[in-house]
Each structure stands twice: as structure tokens, then as C-alpha cells.
Amino acid sequence: MEIRPYQAADFAGLDALWREAFPKDPPRNRAEQSVPAKLAMNDDLLFVAVEHGEVIGSIMAGYDGHRGWLYSVAVRQSAKRRGIGTALVETAEAALRALGCPKINLQVRSTNAAVIEFYKELGFSVEDHISMGRLL
């Protein structure tokens, strides 16, 4: 298994992964919308885990000079419990740290206990904030 920056040839595999991992996400979060927008940032913060030529994991990170964010952390069902998610988070953290990022934030659905526990095991903590959003 290799973790590396996303390449254009990874699109179909990334799209399939996200459809498996995030089946209820709205169209604005699908690969056909998110990947071109992320690539336009030219920040090299979209990573994939690849095994035998297949995309089996992904993580997208962002940094605005104030806080870092993690997005679209996903691992194929068939590849879970092998440390791939942890390795993806560590890869993104290292890239953010290299940019001078002092803190990383992420959002998890409050009903997703397994994912919350995963992040707690990596040292993240639940903060007393309310997440708000507005579509543009």
C-alpha cells in the first residue's frame, strides 16, 4: 500500500471510493465537483492510498493560514482495520505541519460513533462548538 498525492488517473477509483464511503452525501460533495475545485487550489493536499493499482483510501486537507481541515477521509470497506485511515491522517498532518499549520479541525456526523472513536484514538477531542453552514 502506498499513500501519495492524487493523480488524474485516480479519478474513477476516488469517485467509486467516495460513493461507497459517503453514499448519502449531496451532489456538491461528489468527486466530479470536489476534485476539480481542490485541484484548482494547487496545494497538493489531496492524497490517495493505492494498493495493486486500486484507490483504497483518500484524505483531503486544507489550510487557510489559520487552521487546517481534514475532509473526505475514506477507506474501502474491504481494506478497513489495517491502519490505512491512520496513515492517511498522519500523511495529511505532516503536510499541514510543513506549511506551519498550528491546529487541525474536522467535522464528523454526531451519529457516527465509530468514526468519532477513530479520531479520539488519534488524539482528536470533541470541542464545544456548534457547526454552522450556509449554501452559496
Q: How much is the pTM?
A: 0.92
- Order across the sheet with 68-75: list the strands: 2-5, 46-51, 54-63, 68-75, 104-106
Question: What is the C-alpha end-to-end distance of the chain, expressed in Å?
Answer: 38
Amino acid found at 1: M
Q: What is the pLDDT of residues 62-75, one digit of tens each?
A: 999 999 999 999 99
Domain, as residue range, for 32: 2-121
Among candidate residues 68, 21, 19, the one with its CA nearest the CA of residue 43: 68
Residues 6 or more apart whose Cβ sits within 8 Å of residue 24: none
Predicted confidence at residue 130, as pLDDT, reads 87
Distance between alpha carbon 49 and the CA centroid of its chain, in Å?
11
Predicted confidence at residue 74, as pLDDT, reads 96
- Domains held by the chain: number: 1
Q: Is residue 132 part of a domain?
A: no
| CATH number for the domain harbouring residue 116 | 3.40.630.30
Q: Is residue 80 part of a domain?
A: yes
In the three-class reduction of DSSP (H, G, I as helix; E, B as strand; rest coil), residue 7 is classed as coil
Predicted confidence at residue 72, as pLDDT, reads 94
Q: Is residue 107 part of a domain?
A: yes
Positions of the chain with pLDDT lower than 50, given as ranges: none
Predicted confidence at residue 122, as pLDDT, reads 96
Q: Is residue 61 part of a domain?
A: yes
